[in-house]
Amino acid sequence: MRIVQCLIVIFGLGLMSSMTLAHGPGQHVLGTVTAIDQKHLEIKTAKGATVDVQINKQTRFKEKGNPKGTNVPAVGDRVVVEATKDNNVLTATEVHFSAAKKVIQHPPAPIQQAPAPTSTP
């Protein structure tokens, strides 16, 4: 019985270490695009910090619902950026994004007037 427990522990540790190695050395940045141009993305994180991520010709963009499309994110879009860090500079390898939700403005509901009081003669 003791041998079986040891084998299970060894197998579990081996599985965890292989999952850690599969994740890779990259970093992730999650947030909303506040600025974008041909060389960088500026992202505001949920904690309110602004992160600058460089982009280049090797950066791949994947839009939710259209991963093979050629669109790039726009200001207001939500992003998950996979990046590498070199000399304190983040460079995006992949940018997953989805368009910002469009606010639908409904016309105001019509005001219903109360019925006029009727008088009895």
pLDDT of residue 52 exceeding 60, the answer is yes
Q: Is residue 27 part of a domain?
A: yes
pLDDT of residue 45 exceeding 80, the answer is yes
Q: Specify the pLDDT at position 6.
A: 46
Distance CA 105, CA 23 (A): 42
73, 55 Cβ separation under 8 angstroms: no
Give the three-state DSSP class for 66. Answer: strand
pLDDT single digits (tens) 70-87: 889 999 999 999 999 988
Q: Is residue 33 part of a domain?
A: yes
Its pTM stands at 0.63
Judging by DSSP bridges, how do beta strands 27-36 and 40-44 pair with one another? Answer: antiparallel
Q: Specify the pLDDT at position 65.
A: 87
pLDDT of residue 99 exceeding 80, the answer is yes
| Number of domains observed in the structure of the chain | 1
pLDDT of residue 97 exceeding 90, the answer is yes
What is the domain-level CATH number for residue 91? 2.40.50.320
Q: Is residue 25 part of a domain?
A: yes
pLDDT of residue 108 exceeding 90, the answer is no
**How many beta carbons lie within 10 A of that of residue 30, not counting itself?**
13
> Who wins on pLDDT, 17 or 67?
67
Range of the domain at 78: 21-98
Q: Is residue 66 part of a domain?
A: yes
Q: Is residue 52 part of a domain?
A: yes
Using pLDDT thresholds of 50, 70 and 90, give the confidence band for residue 69.
confident
Q: Is residue 80 part of a domain?
A: yes
16-20, 41-45, 116-120: range with highest mean pLDDT: 41-45
